[in-house]
């Protein structure tokens, strides 16, 4: 069965369950829901959905809208703030809730963000982290409550690790999960907690859990829609202390692990409950495993997200453990690819290519692999047992564009930012992976201090931007610089910009480089030339290299001057016919003069002439 939130999609019996109750769903809407659930996290176009479900029949696209309305009513979903089905206008739909495999005995088999933990498959590259989680579980079995924060960037495998850990727990454990949803925390208190309680009460021994809640925390049971004794639920609101005591008693017979996904989207009430669970001194076979973004990734409005303060306080008091997931090593990426391709020996160069462009992020690695197959860069050769994946050309010559699935995911994240934040990051992408605040200010023609403050705020709030350090400028001033933690984010941001806007930014950055390093142009000439060329201003790129070469020659750095002039010559040869002749002739003359100074005019000039 497929599980998402408190729902289970029984594909064998073609029915939907919610908290143990079967929901009536007509065949056609069921087919639509099943297709979405089986293809989570990616765009499903209208045409794909129609072709998949009605291949031989013409169906009006309006029918899909009707089915989506029906499904949203059944799921309690809101089109404006979707938890399950997101509408992408004029394109199609995307199932945005995490989906996992349920093995039917109340325990989740798990499918993580990188697909590595599902269906009993071995998770890759996380043996040490699994051992640490198992050690935490042993302490819980001894009566010591534990809280573990699993942190890391999107796609790094946080969910896959927790899923693999839960799947390996013996049958003597109970597992209940709650999913925090972006933008939902302020609308419904305790949302992930209620989801986890619903699973507890729907499990095989759910009657016992329901009985304990009815006795010790009746308001919580009533909030689940369960019947309680008259008057008991109305005596008070949902009190955290009541639930803490009830969970501790539920865990007396079987150790209990509560899994909260994406805790950085949690509401304040959920975080307060977690704090209470961690601080209670009574012995309890209770564990909380929470996944969340890295370090300072979450902010709320203009202030810091309370999760950061909570985590720091618990760490200081030794009441929790933080497990920060690092990128996979090249060896682990090789193992991941071999498993996905079902092939021991991989094509030469594949692991290096994928590791370089995924930077060790397992979800990105799999998306790149799928992209190579979809684009025909990897093809299946042979048949049956001899079938193998083979490249159609050298990997170093293949395009390193952004896989569509990742591009859509990144686009959704970027769309959640304000227009001003998108503009700042777009300008930063014109510099590259690392971007100094002064360059962003130059591109946007805005105050450097204001931009630096805005960049600092983005680095605190966003998981894909981090502070890189400080640069000292020629005038003695210091400027912070920032880094996109993954090149794919920079690539998507850069491609989102109109060509004319990119060109303007590149020219302004090159100009600012020239102003800052006016007396040291030889140090930044190549960067200036790169920006001018990116803007389509090759003539100005050639001039920058020539000016830097003259400075180098004046400083008696003749080898540097020669190299700069050689680069200027190569770029001048790309100019239009009218500009090329005069430009090439002038550079050759400068090059000849420079080489005569260093070697009497022999040897090196002939090499340049052969290049030309």
DSSP per position, 167-229: HHS-TT-EEEEEE--TTTTTTSTTHHHHHHHHHHHHSTTHHHHHHHHHHH-HHHHHHTT----
CA distance linking residue 467 with residue 477, whole number of Å? 18
Does 53 score more than 60 pLDDT? yes
Beta strands in 293-398 (DSSP E): 299-300, 303-304, 321-324, 378-381, 388-391
Beta strands in 359-426 (DSSP E): 378-381, 388-391
Place of tokens 């684009």: 375
Please compute the mean of the pLDDT values over residues 398-405 and round it to a whole number: 75
Please compute the mean of the pLDDT values over residues 187-213 and round it to a whole number: 87
Residue bearing the bigger pLDDT, 498 or 50:
498
Cβ–Cβ under 8 Å, residues 132 and 272: no
Confidence of residue 238 (pLDDT cuts 50, 70, 90): confident
Q: What percent of the chain has pLDDT over 90?
A: 38
Q: Is the dihedral of CA 446, 447, 453, 459 positive or negative?
A: positive
Place of tokens 């992976």: 433
Compute the C-alpha angle 451/455/457, nearest 5°: 120
Query: What is the average pLDDT score of the chain?
Result: 83
Does 245 score more than 70 pLDDT? yes
Does 389 score more than 50 pLDDT? yes
pLDDT computed for residue 475 by the predictor:
81
pLDDT computed for residue 385 by the predictor:
67
Does 399 score more than 70 pLDDT? no
Q: Which residues pair with 94 in a beta bridge?
A: 86
CA distance linking residue 382 with residue 581, whole number of Å? 54
pLDDT computed for residue 184 by the predictor:
59
Q: Smallest Cα–Cα separation from 114: which of 326, 346, 365?
A: 365
pLDDT computed for residue 568 by the predictor:
83
Span of 149-153, 277-281, 559-563, 593-597 with lowest mean pLDDT: 593-597
pLDDT computed for residue 581 by the predictor:
67
Q: What's the pTM value of the predicted model, to 2 decimals?
A: 0.68
Query: Over the stretch 346-362, which tens digit does the pLDDT of each residue have?
Result: 999 999 999 988 889 99
CA distance linking residue 318 with residue 302, whole number of Å? 29
pLDDT computed for residue 105 by the predictor:
42
Q: CA Rg, the chain, in Å? A: 29
Q: Smallest Cα–Cα separation from 439: which of 481, 497, 477?
A: 481
């Amino acid at each position: 069965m497929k599980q998402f939130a408190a729902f289970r999609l029984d594909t064998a019996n073609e029915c939907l369950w919610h908290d143990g109750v079967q929901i009536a769903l007509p065949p056609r809407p069921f087919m639509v829901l099943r297709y979405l659930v089986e293809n989570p996290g990616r765009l499903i176009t209208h045409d794909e959905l129609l072709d998949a479900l009605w291949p031989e029949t013409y169906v009006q696209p309006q029918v899909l809208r009707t089915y989506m309305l029906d499904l949203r009513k059944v799921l309690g979903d809101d089109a404006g703030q979707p938890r399950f089905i997101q509408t992408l206008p004029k394109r199609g739909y995307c199932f945005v809730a995490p989906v996992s495999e349920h093995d039917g005995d109340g325990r989740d088999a798990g499918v993580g963000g990188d697909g590595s933990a599902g269906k009993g498959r071995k998770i890759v590259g996380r043996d040490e982290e699994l051992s640490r989680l198992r050690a935490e579980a042993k302490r819980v079995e001894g009566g010591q409550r534990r809280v573990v924060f699993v942190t890391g960037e999107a796609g790094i495998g946080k969910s896959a690790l927790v899923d693999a850990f839960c799947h390996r727990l013996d049958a003597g454990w109970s597992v209940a999960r709650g999913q925090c949803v972006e933008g939902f925390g302020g609308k419904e208190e305790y949302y992930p907690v209620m989801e986890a309680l619903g699973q507890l009460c729907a499990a095989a021994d759910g009657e016992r859990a329901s009985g304990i809640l009815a006795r010790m925390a009746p308001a919580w049971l009533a909030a689940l829609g369960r019947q309680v004794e008259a008057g008991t639920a109305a005596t008070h609101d949902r009190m955290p202390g009541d639930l803490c005591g009830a969970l501790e008693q539920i865990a007396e017979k079987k150790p209990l692990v509560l899994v909260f996904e994406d805790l950085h989207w949690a509401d304040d009430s959920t975080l307060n409950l977690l704090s209470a669970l961690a601080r209670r001194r009574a012995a309890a076979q209770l564990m909380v495993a929470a996944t969340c973004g890295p370090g300072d990734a979450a902010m709320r409005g203009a202030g810091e997200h309370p999760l950061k303060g909570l985590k720091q306080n618990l760490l200081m008091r030794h009441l929790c453990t933080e497990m920060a997931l690092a990128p996979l090593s090249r060896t682990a990426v090789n193992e991941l690819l071999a498993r996905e391709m079902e092939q021991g020996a991989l094509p030469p160069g594949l692991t290096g290519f994928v590791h370089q462009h995924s930077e060790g992020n397992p979800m990105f690695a799999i998306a790149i692999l799928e992209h190579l197959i979809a684009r025909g860069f990897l093809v299946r050769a042979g048949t049956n047992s001899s079938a193998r994946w083979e490249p159609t050309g050298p990997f170093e010559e293949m395009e390193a564009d952004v896989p569509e699935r990742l591009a859509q995911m990144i686009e959704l994240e970027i769309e959640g930012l304000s227009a001003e934040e998108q503009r700042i990051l777009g300008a930063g992408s014109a510099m590259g992976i690392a971007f100094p605040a002064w360059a962003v200010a130059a591109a946007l023609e805005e105050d450097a201090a204001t931009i630096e403050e805005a960049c600092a705020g983005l680095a605190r709030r966003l998981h894909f931007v981090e502070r890189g350090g400080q640069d000292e400028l020629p005038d003695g001033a210091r400027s912070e610089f920032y880094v996109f933690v993954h090149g794919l984010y920079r690539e998507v941001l850069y491609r989102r910009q109109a060509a004319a806007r990119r060109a303007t930014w590149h020219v302004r950055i090159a100009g600012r480089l020239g102003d800052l390093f006016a007396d040291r142009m030889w140090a930044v000439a190549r960067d200036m030339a790169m920006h001018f060329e990116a803007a389509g201003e090759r003539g100005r790129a050639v001039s920058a290299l020539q000016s830097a070469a003259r400075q180098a020659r004046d400083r008696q750095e003749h080898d540097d001057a020669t190299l700069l002039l050689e680069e200027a010559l190569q770029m001048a040869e790309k100019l239009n016919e009218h500009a090329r002749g005069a430009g090439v002739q002038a550079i050759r003359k400068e090059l000849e003069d420079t080489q005569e100074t260093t070697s009497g005019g022999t040897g090196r000039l002939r090499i340049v002439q052969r290049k030309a």
